[in-house]
Amino acid sequence: MIVVTGGAGFIGSNLVAALEARGIADLVVCDRLGQADKWRNIAKRELAAIVPPERLLDFLDANAKEIACLFHMGAISATTERDADLIVRENFTLSLALWAWCARHSVRLIYASSAATFGDGAQGFDDDGSTAALARLRPLNAYGWSKHLFDRRVARLVAEGKSAPPQWAGLKFFNVYGPNETHKGSMKSMVAHIYPRAVAGEPARLFRSHQPDYADGGQLRDFIWVGDCVDVMLWLYDNPGTSGLFNVGTGTARSFADLAAAVYRALDREPRIEFVDTPVEIRDKYQYFTQAKMDRLRAAGFKRQFTPLEAGVTEYVKGFLHAADPYR
């Protein structure tokens, strides 16, 4: 049995689909579905159970002998969320409880961290998981801080030789795009935001730069196709001897203007862009540049090449957003 928290969410539901495609029958999703269409992310899957987060630990205890691996993708991922107590409860306290449970029952744990832990990038984007290196990072929002807080606790427990899962891996996902993200609303990828405007023949709206080093639309991010993220997680599942904190990006930063152009060209249209001011409330928390340093994952043995931006955007637009059924 494999349990995926956040399994009806964006990255989690893509992982569940890939695990099912491998023929794994006993798949358990832990998530809240709510009253919208989030359920469609898992509507095609055969599942052994759907467990609400507040009952997860009871479920794990009742099925401890059956569980081989726990993928912990569940979190409050909105960078604009202001309720820090809620974020700590969902992103830190529960994660600690799952770490302890997996250690106690010798269950493998692969969990989602975030590139938001790097803050403004002043310390670079090296996934050094040592306690000293992590102490230097300064996340810009409560979401990034909560993920960083857990990374630091894991680093401390490992450094002190405390009880740990037989395999553990924290994944610092960069800017992920792909199917099954509709429920994320304003937190969807820029591909999903730009697509309807491109279809309507309207210009994409990108934030103006408020730093002299970057032209409007020239802000740079490491955009990664969700299928590549899933490939990394499956590779870790296939390599139970590999543990650590790893970046999950392409290693190549591209501009928002490049991203917008890729969406229009996937629809065989000429790119159109207009610029709007970055909202004041996020202006001092904005990452102008991200680029994953991928040396550690490569050194661990992951050899597969990552999908180029244009290829990934085209697959997303033509295969999902522009299809009759946009869900994986």
Residue 279: inside a domain: no
Residue 17: inside a domain: yes
Residue 278: inside a domain: no
pLDDT band, residue 295 (cuts 50/70/90): very high
Q: DSSP assignment, residue 136? A: T
List, for residues 302-322, the tens digit of each pLDDT value. 999 999 999 999 999 999 999
CATH of the domain at 231: 3.40.50.720
Please report the DSSP string for 41-108 in residue order.
GGTT---SEEE-GGGHHHHHHHTTTT--EEEE------TT---HHHHIIIIIIHHHHHHHHHHHHT-E
Domain span including residue 62: 2-177+223-251+291-307
Residue 256: inside a domain: no
List, for residues 12-67, the tens digit of each pLDDT value. 999 999 999 999 989 999 999 998 899 999 999 999 999 999 999 999 999 999 99
Q: How many structural domains compose the chain?
A: 1
Residue 201: inside a domain: no
Query: Which sign does the torsion angle of CA 230, 234, 237, 240 carry?
Result: negative
Residue 65: inside a domain: yes
What rounded mean pLDDT belongs to the chain? 96
The residues carrying an active-site annotation are: 143, 184
Residue 28: inside a domain: yes
List, for residues 105-129, the tens digit of each pLDDT value. 999 999 999 999 999 999 999 999 9
Is residue 118 within 8 Å of 174, Cβ to Cβ? Answer: no
Residue 235: inside a domain: yes
